[in-house]
C-alpha cells in the first residue's frame, strides 16, 4: 500500500470520527432534531436512509451477479427505486411514522408488538432478527473483504478480519448514535464514487450504444454452465419456462434476486425505523427525490457496470507484467456446493503486475481436454524487456480466477467488481472506490449491528426482564455475538455469489415474516393479534423449512436435509423447484393466514384502535379484515 493511499484512508476515517464527535458534542441525532422541534434536512435524511440501504453487498455482490448473469438485474434496480424508495417513503413512510410515534415504538419489533398488543410478537420478531441479521451482516463484510483482498493483493481471510475489526471498531466506538451527518458524508462519498465509476466505465467500452452493442455481441461467450440453466446473453432475459433445468436462471434472477430483495426491503427492520426519525410527511416526500436518485446511482450503476465489465475483460483488457508461474493443470472450481463441486481443467497464468515479485493477477491460458471449447484462450506476447503482455479474452466470470486456498483456484463472481475496478480504472479511483465501499459498509453495518443489539436487548431481554431494567449490557453483548457470528459465516462461506444469496435470504425472510403483519397493521383495523402472530410464525416457518429442505444450495450448506433424509434437498431432482426462492411460497401463505385468521378471531379493542389510528375515522379501511 502506497503512502498516499494510507493517507487517503486515514483522512477519510478521521473525517468520520470528527463528524461522529461533532454529532456527539452537538447531539445531532434524529431525536435531538425532533426534541428541538426542528427538522432534519431531507437531503441528509435521504442520504442517511440510502447509505444504510446500500452496502458492499449491493455494489460488490449484486454487481458481480450482474457481471455473471447480465442486465436482467436492472429489474432489481427498478424495484429498489420504485418499491424501496417511492412506495416505502411516499406510501408506507408517513403511516409508519405516525403510528410509531402514537405507540411510542422505537424498534421494528416494538412497533409490531405494540400495534397488536403482543409481547410474544415483539420477543419473537426480536429473536428472529437477532439470529438471522448476521447472515446479512456477513454479506456486507464479505463484499468489503473481497475488494481489500484484490486491491492489496492479500489473502481473503486476513482481509475479512481487518475489515471486520475496522468497521465493527468504528461502530462499537460510537457509530451507533444515528448521527445523520456521518451517514450523509458516507452517502456523499458513495454517490461520488459510483458516478465516476459509471462515466469511466461507459468511456472505457466506447460509450452507451457501443458498449451495449458489444455486450450483446458477446452472447456466444457465456460460460457453458450458465447457458445450460438459461443464460442467453448479458443483454437478454434468461429463458423463461418451467419443468427443465434450462429455465433455472430465470427463477433465480426473478424470484431470489429481483423479488426477494426488491420486495424484502419494505420490511427491513433497520430501514423501517428510519421513517420514525422524521418530523413530518413533508420531510419524507422531499426525501424521495434524493433517495430515488441516490439508489439509481448505486444499484443501477453497479449492475450496468457489472454487465459491461464483460466487454472490458473480453475486448479491451491488456495485462503487462512478469510471468511468475504457469499452472499446467489446474482444476478451477466453477460451482461449489457442500455436496457438489464442479471443476474445469485448464492452464493458468500467474502474473506480477506491480513488480514486487508476487503474482497478483491470475488468468486462464486455455482449457484442457473438453474444456478447451468452453474456456477462453488468452493471447500471450513476450515483450523485449522479459515481461509478458496478456489479453485474457474472457468474460467476467471466467476472468475472476482467485485462490480458494490449499492450492486450489475458483471462478468467484464476488471478485469480479474488485478485479474490474483494480484492473480497468486508475489507481486513484481504486482508492476512491475503497473509500466508497468502506462508507457503504460502515453505514449499513452500524445499523445492522445496532438492530441486532436492540433486537436481543430492547426487544427480547427487556420484555422478559421488565420495562425498568437497563438492557445496555445485553445489547452490547448481543452486538459482539452478532459480529462474531457474521465473521464466522464470512470465513466459511465464499464463492458462488454468496453475498447476493445471503442478502436475499435475510430480505426474503423479513418480507415473508413481517410484511403482511406490518402493512396490515398500518392500514387495516380488522387485523387481529392472533392473525398477526399466526402470519409471522407462518412466514418464518415456511421460509425456514424451504431453506432447510427445498432450496438446494442453502439446504446443502446447512446439511440438515442430508442428515435426516439422506438427500441434499427434497426436490433436488425435480427441475426448477430447488432454485425457487422461499419468498414466493412463504409471503403469499403468510398473507393468506393473516386474512383468514383475522376473519375468525377476536377483533382488536376500540382503545387500541383509537391509539393506533386516532379517535376519529382517519383510516378509511372498513372494520372487516383485509379484502
Partner 1 sequence: MTTGVLGIPDPWIWMAYLLCLAATLLCVVHSVLAGRKADEAEPTPADATWAKHEKQVEEEE
Among 289, 493, 589, 596, binds partner 1 (CB under 8 A): 289
**Near partner 1 in 141-180, by CB under 8 A:** 176-178
Q: Residue 413 Cβ, how far from partner 1 at the closest point, in Å?
A: 20
Cα 601 to Cα 9, 493, 528, 548, 621, distances in angstroms: 58, 44, 7, 31, 18
Q: Residue 184 Cβ, how far from partner 1 at the closest point, in Å?
A: 17
Q: Which residue has the cell 438485474?
A: 73
Dmax of the chain from CA atoms? 87
102 vs 323 by CB, closer to partner 1? 102
**Near partner 1 in 14-53, by CB under 8 A:** 29-32, 34-35, 37, 42
Strand 401-405 relative to strand 388-391, pairing:
unpaired
| Nearest-angstrom CA–CA distance, 580 and 583 | 8
Which triple of cell numbers denotes residue 78? 427498478
Q: Are the C-beta atoms of residues 138 and 493 closer than 8 Å to each other?
A: yes
Residue 210 interacting with partner 1 (CB under 8 A): yes
Containing 19, the helix (H) or strand (E) segment is helix 3-26
Beta bridge partners of 160: none
46 vs 351 by CB, closer to partner 1? 46
| Nearest-angstrom CA–CA distance, 284 and 51 | 16
Q: Residue 79 Cβ, how far from partner 1 at the closest point, in Å?
A: 9
Residue 516: partners with Cβ closer than 8 Å, 6 or more residues away:
535, 539, 587, 590, 591, 593, 594
**Near partner 1 in 231-260, by CB under 8 A:** 235-237
| Nearest-angstrom CA–CA distance, 585 and 623 | 28
78 vs 523 by CB, closer to partner 1? 78
**Near partner 1 in 299-338, by CB under 8 A:** 300
**Near partner 1 in 476-535, by CB under 8 A:** 476
Beta bridge partners of 409: 403
| Nearest-angstrom CA–CA distance, 28 and 23 | 5
Span of 116-124, 204-212, 375-383, 563-571 interacting with partner 1 by CB under 8 A? 204-212
Other beta carbons within 10 Å of 216: 15
Q: Residue 337 Cβ, how far from partner 1 at the closest point, in Å?
A: 29
Q: Residue 590 Cβ, how far from partner 1 at the closest point, in Å?
A: 26
| Nearest-angstrom CA–CA distance, 451 and 459 | 10
**Near partner 1 in 173-202, by CB under 8 A:** 176-178
97 vs 494 by CB, closer to partner 1? 97
| Nearest-angstrom CA–CA distance, 363 and 314 | 12
| Nearest-angstrom CA–CA distance, 62 and 60 | 6
Q: Are the C-beta atoms of residues 409 and 401 closer than 8 Å to each other?
A: yes
Which triple of cell numbers denotes residue 489? 459465516
143 vs 292 by CB, closer to partner 1? 292
Q: Residue 33 Cβ, how far from partner 1 at the closest point, in Å?
A: 8
Q: Residue 49 Cβ, how far from partner 1 at the closest point, in Å?
A: 13
Span of 284-292, 359-367, 436-444, 497-505 interacting with partner 1 by CB under 8 A? 284-292
Q: Are the C-beta atoms of residues 393 and 314 closer than 8 Å to each other?
A: yes
| Nearest-angstrom CA–CA distance, 586 and 445 | 27
Q: Are the C-beta atoms of residues 19 and 26 closer than 8 Å to each other?
A: no
What beta strand segments (E) does 484-604 contain? Answer: none
Residue 562 interacting with partner 1 (CB under 8 A): no
Beta bridge partners of 352: 322
Containing 364, the helix (H) or strand (E) segment is strand 361-367
Minimal CA–CA distance to 365: which of 346, 352, 383, 388?
346
Q: Residue 486 Cβ, how far from partner 1 at the closest point, in Å?
A: 18
- Residues 417-456, mask of contacts with partner 1 (x by CB under 8 A): ---------------------------------x--xx--
Span of 271-279, 343-351, 356-364, 531-539 interacting with partner 1 by CB under 8 A? 271-279
Among 127, 154, 227, 285, binds partner 1 (CB under 8 A): 285
Q: Residue 341 Cβ, how far from partner 1 at the closest point, in Å?
A: 32
300 vs 508 by CB, closer to partner 1? 300
Q: Residue 208 Cβ, how far from partner 1 at the closest point, in Å?
A: 6
Among 114, 212, 226, 551, binds partner 1 (CB under 8 A): 212
Residue 287 interacting with partner 1 (CB under 8 A): yes
- Residues 47-86, mask of contacts with partner 1 (x by CB under 8 A): -----------------------xxx-xx-xx--xx--xx
Beta bridge partners of 382: 388
Which triple of cell numbers denotes residue 433? 472506490
Among 47, 54, 222, 276, binds partner 1 (CB under 8 A): 276
Residue 417: partners with Cβ closer than 8 Å, 6 or more residues away:
59, 60, 63, 64, 67, 147, 302, 305, 306, 309
Minimal CA–CA distance to 388: which of 425, 350, 426, 347?
350
Q: Are the C-beta atoms of residues 187 and 287 closer than 8 Å to each other?
A: no
CA triple 112-117-118, angle to 5 deg: 75
- Residues 94-133, mask of contacts with partner 1 (x by CB under 8 A): ------xxx-x-xx--------------------------
236 vs 408 by CB, closer to partner 1? 236
Q: Residue 110 Cβ, how far from partner 1 at the closest point, in Å?
A: 9
Residue 270 interacting with partner 1 (CB under 8 A): no
For residues 164-180, one letter each, b for 16 or more C-beta atoms within 10 angstroms of the residue's C-beta and e for the rest, the string is bebbbebbbeebbbbbb
Residue 296 interacting with partner 1 (CB under 8 A): yes
Span of 123-131, 211-219, 241-249, 616-624 interacting with partner 1 by CB under 8 A? 211-219
**Near partner 1 in 457-476, by CB under 8 A:** 457-458, 470-472, 475-476
Q: How many residues bind partner 1 (CB under 8 A)?
A: 67
12 vs 89 by CB, closer to partner 1? 89
State the residues that interact with partner 1 by CB under 8 A.
29-32, 34-35, 37, 42, 70-72, 74-75, 77-78, 81-82, 85-86, 90, 100-102, 104, 106-107, 176-178, 208-213, 216-217, 235-237, 276-277, 279-282, 285-293, 296, 300, 450, 453-454, 457-458, 470-472, 475-476
Amino acid at each position: 500500500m502506497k503512502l498516499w493511499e494510507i493517507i487517503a484512508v486515514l483522512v477519510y476515517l478521521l473525517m468520520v470520527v470528527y463528524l461522529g464527535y461533532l454529532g456527539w458534542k452537538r447531539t445531532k441525532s434524529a431525536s435531538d432534531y425532533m426534541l428541538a422541534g426542528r427538522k432534519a434536512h431531507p437531503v441528509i435524511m435521504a442520504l442517511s436512509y440510502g447509505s444504510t440501504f446500500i452496502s458492499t453487498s449491493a455494489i460488490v455482490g449484486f454487481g458481480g451477479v450482474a457481471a455473471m448473469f447480465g442486465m436482467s438485474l436492472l429489474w432489481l434496480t427498478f424495484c429498489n427505486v420504485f418499491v424501496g424508495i417511492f412506495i416505502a417513503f411516499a406510501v408506507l413512510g408517513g403511516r409508519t411514522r405516525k403510528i410509531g410515534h402514537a405507540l411510542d415504538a422505537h424498534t421494528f419489533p416494538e412497533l409490531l408488538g405494540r400495534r397488536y398488543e403482543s409481547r410474544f410478537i415483539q420477543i419473537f420478531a426480536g429473536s428472529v432478527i437477532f439470529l438471522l441479521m448476521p447472515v446479512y451482516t456477513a454479506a456486507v463484510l464479505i463484499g468489503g473483504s473481497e475488494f481489500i483482498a484484490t486491491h492489496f493483493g492479500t489473502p481473503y481471510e486476513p482481509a475479512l478480519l481487518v475489515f471486520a475489526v475496522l468497521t465493527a471498531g468504528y461502530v462499537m466506538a460510537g457509530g451507533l448514535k444515528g448521527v445523520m451527518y456521518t451517514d450523509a458524508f458516507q452517502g456523499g462519498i458513495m454517490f461520488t464514487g459510483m458516478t465516476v465509476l459509471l462515466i469511466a466505465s461507459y468511456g472505457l467500452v466506447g460509450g452507451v450504444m457501443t458498449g451495449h452493442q458489444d455486450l450483446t455481441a458477446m452472447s456466444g461467450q457465456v460460460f457453458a454452465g450458465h447457458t445450460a440453466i438459461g443464460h442467453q446473453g448479458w443483454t437478454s432475459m434468461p429463458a423463461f419456462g418451467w419443468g427443465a433445468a434450462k429455465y433455472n436462471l430465470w427463477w433465480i434472477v426473478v424470484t431470489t434476486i429481483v423479488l426477494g430483495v426488491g420486495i424484502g426491503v419494505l420490511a427491513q427492520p433497520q430501514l423501517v425505523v428510519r421513517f420514525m426519525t422524521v418530523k413530518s410527511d413533508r420531510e419524507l416526500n422531499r426525501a424521495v427525490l434524493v433517495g430515488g436518485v441516490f439508489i439509481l446511482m448505486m444499484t443501477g450503476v453497479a449492475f450496468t457496470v457489472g454487465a459491461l465489465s464483460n466487454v472490458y475483460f473480453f475486448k479491451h483488457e491488456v495485462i503487462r507484467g512478469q510471468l511468475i508461474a504457469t499452472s499446467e493443470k489446474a482444476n478451477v472450481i466453477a460451482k461449489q456446493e457442500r455436496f457438489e463441486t464442479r471443476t474445469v481443467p485448464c492452464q493458468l497464468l500467474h502474473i506480477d503486475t506491480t513488480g514486487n515479485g508476487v503474482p497478483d493477477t491470475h488468468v486462464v491460458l486455455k482449457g484442457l481436454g473438453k474444456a478447451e471449447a468452453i474456456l477462453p484462450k488468452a493471447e500471450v506476447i513476450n515483450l523485449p524487456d522479459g515481461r509478458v503482455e496478456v489479453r485474457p479474452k474472457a468474460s467476467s466470470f471466467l476472468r475472476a480466477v482467485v485462490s480458494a486456498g490449499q492450492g486450489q483456484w475458483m471462478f468467484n463472481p464476488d471478485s469480479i467488481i474488485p478485479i474490474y475496478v483494480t484492473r480497468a480504472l486508475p489507481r486513484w479511483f481504486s482508492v476512491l472506490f475503497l473509500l466508497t465501499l468502506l462508507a457503504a459498509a460502515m453505514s449499513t453495518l452500524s445499523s445492522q449491528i445496532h438492530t441486532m443489539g436492540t433486537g436481543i436487548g430492547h426487544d427480547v431481554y427487556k420484555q422478559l426482564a421488565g420495562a425498568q431494567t437497563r438492557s445496555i449490557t445485553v445489547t452490547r453483548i448481543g452486538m459482539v455475538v452478532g459480529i462474531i457470528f457474521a465473521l464466522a459465516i464470512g470465513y466459511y462461506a465464499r464463492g458462488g455469489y454468496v453475498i447476493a444469496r445471503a442478502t436475499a435470504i435475510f430480505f426474503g425472510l423479513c418480507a415473508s415474516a413481517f410484511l403482511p403483519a406490518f402493512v396490515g397493521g398500518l392500514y387495516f383495523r380488522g387485523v387481529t393479534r392472533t392473525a398477526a402472530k399466526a402470519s409471522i410464525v407462518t412466514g418464518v416457518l415456511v421460509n425456514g423449512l424451504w431453506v432447510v429442505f427445498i432450496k438446494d444450495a442453502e439446504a446443502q450448506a446447512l446439511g440438515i436435509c442430508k442428515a435426516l433424509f439422506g438427500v441434499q434437498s427434497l426436490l433436488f431432482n425435480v427441475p426448477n423447484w430447488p432454485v425457487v426462492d422461499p419468498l414466493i411460497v412463504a409471503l403469499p401463505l403468510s398473507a393468506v393466514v393473516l386474512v383468514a385468521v383475522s376473519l375468525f378471531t377476536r377483533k382488536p379493542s376500540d382503545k387500541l384502535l383509537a391509539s393506533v389510528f386516532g379517535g376519529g375515522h382517519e383510516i378509511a379501511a372498513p372494520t372487516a379484515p383485509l379484502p
